[in-house]
Amino acid sequence: MRRIAWSVALALACLAAAGGGLQGPAGGAGSTGASPPAPACGTPPTSITLSPMVPCDVNATSGTLQGLQNDFDVYSWNSFIALNWPVSASGAVEPGVKIGQNGDNPTVWETWSESSDIFLAGGAPPPPFGQHTPPPAACQNLYTPGMRVVTQIGKTLLEEDVQPFKTGPLVDQNGQYTRFEITVNENMFDTIVGYQLYNQQGQQAYASAGNSVQFLCGSNPTSQVGAIMAKAAWKVLGKGDNPGRFHKVQALVYTPDAKDLKDRCVLQTLGMVGLHIAHKTTSAPQWIWSSFEQVDNAPDQGQVEPAGSHFNYYNAGCKGCPVNEPPPRPWNASIPGQPATQVERVIPIAPSTAQLNQTAAALLRSVNPASVWQYYELISTQWPTQPAAASTFCPPPGGPPVKKSPALLNETDGNPAPQFLANATLETYIQGSVPNVSSSCIRCHHAATATTGDTADFTYLLERAESVIAPPPAPSTSGGMQ
């Protein structure tokens, strides 16, 4: 069985990323331009830096577990800063404006395509990258082009009307449901669209040709950005919340119809409470998983809180509240005043990560003392200590798809470090340290499949693909049945 040392893995990753070809989706931001594109990403510095340059991959400088964890945590912070860099109204990165310079700012990852823009009813082709589909009918009176619409209520909610609330909703201290969204970068979008993986027939054709879903990998040597997913959790800002401590959006919050209640759409101010960044890279084909939270979410388990402390998902005065348990049914986001979820962080942030968080907060504060970004913290970065071979799992940009093989199926999850990682807003109810039960980004996503039942390269998004609606049969010209 393959066991690749980190130094060897990085060398192989460089070689794999240097391949070329013409058949598949090209990598990076230059896939449609004729002139040489500016690099979509860069080799990240070895310290936290205020830069709009997305790290192509980790910059591993250590050979020890703790040293590499620090390298990955630095990578995570540099990714967070770059992906939350200010963008203009047109969606372009504003290199002349620093993150948080104006307190808050619209961000890079929010200009990407949202999952609901890609996997459409009837398996229809998605609009071009970054463009959105029309909102639900209930939102259309309030909608203006460019406005955000947030629909997802449960983390594993596929769509409003499909198998909702597998892990239960998360209710904040004001009785409001937390909302979620997933966006993908252009590189990942191009692969999904280029191979027509956005509907079931496209996935079937791709699999029938012997192909395995493998997204492009970020690479430092070739400045290829690779596939990135961002998964955000939002709360409706209200009583007790300090808006100056949140990245905010004005969004249409859509609540699907439920028993005896019509669907609703309300324009509200949302504050970001959680952000996952998942990035497939040549040194980590099992992806790098960075998890951030707003600092006021929840205390550590067993932590004694001073009187008057305010948390988004914890009430210090509620002594008998069940901790980290989904609210009682029925679950319906339309019902106001629902019991709040009492959340505690089961695995505390590691001291080395907490130290980096302080460094990052000071750096962000130096831009503007009122920067909202200083109120976010890295929970941890999960990465494979035994990375898969990039030569097998990273298709060359523009090259042919990766073919199915036993080597792909026999690849392990890479023995992730840390073993467990849970975001209090995204994996609230599966925190802990029991294998196969407690949250581990890599272990869980390793089991992701497409609608064909084939592995889906660590993303569950492909399960959302619908079947193409067959056109109605043509009228018979034979005179009908005999």
The single residue among 93, 316, 448, 468 that binds other proteins, judged by CB under 8 A, is 448
Select 343 or 378, whichever has its Cβ closest to other proteins: 378
* Residues binding other proteins: number (CB under 8 A): 33
454 binds other proteins (CB under 8 A): yes
135 binds other proteins (CB under 8 A): no
Looking at the chain, the number of H-run helices and the number of E-run strands are: 9, 13
Q: Taking CB under 8 A as the rule, which mask of x and - marks residues 383-422 in contact with other proteins? A: --xx-------------------x-xxxxxx-xxxxx---
Task: Using alpha carbons, select from 414, 447, 420 the residue that is nearest to residue 434.
Answer: 420
What is the rounded distance in angstroms from the CA atom of residue 85 to the CA atom of residue 88?
Answer: 10
Stretch in the footprint of other proteins (CB under 8 A) among 17-25, 106-114, 139-147, 427-435: 427-435
In the bound complex, what is the minimum distance in angstroms from residue 186's beta carbon to other proteins?
A: 27
5 binds other proteins (CB under 8 A): yes
In the bound complex, what is the minimum distance in angstroms from residue 422's beta carbon to other proteins?
A: 15
Stretch in the footprint of other proteins (CB under 8 A) among 30-38, 185-193, 330-338, 440-448: 440-448
Query: Do 172 and 236 touch, CB atoms closer than 8 A?
Result: yes
The single residue among 133, 156, 449, 460 that binds other proteins, judged by CB under 8 A, is 449
Sign of CA dihedral 259, 264, 268, 270: positive
Select 3 or 319, whichever has its Cβ closest to other proteins: 3
Give Cα 167 to chain centroid, integer Å: 17
In the bound complex, what is the minimum distance in angstroms from residue 276's beta carbon to other proteins?
A: 19
In the bound complex, what is the minimum distance in angstroms from residue 352's beta carbon to other proteins?
A: 14
Tokens 């109810």 correspond to 429
Select 365 or 404, whichever has its Cβ closest to other proteins: 404
Residue 61 neighbours by CB under 8 Å, 6+ apart? 46, 67, 71
Written as one string, the DSSP assignment of 47-61 is S----S-EESS----
CB-count burial class (<10 Å; 0-12, 13-18, 19+) for 259: exposed
Query: Do 233 and 274 touch, CB atoms closer than 8 A?
Result: yes
Select 168 or 384, whichever has its Cβ closest to other proteins: 384
446 binds other proteins (CB under 8 A): yes
What the block records as the tokens of 169 is 């909703």
What the block records as the tokens of 303 is 């932590």
453 binds other proteins (CB under 8 A): yes
What is the rounded distance in angstroms from the CA atom of residue 322 to the CA atom of residue 89?
Answer: 44
Give the footprint of other proteins on this chain (CB under 8 A). Answer: 1, 3, 5-6, 63-65, 68, 385-386, 406, 408-413, 415-419, 433-436, 446-449, 453-455
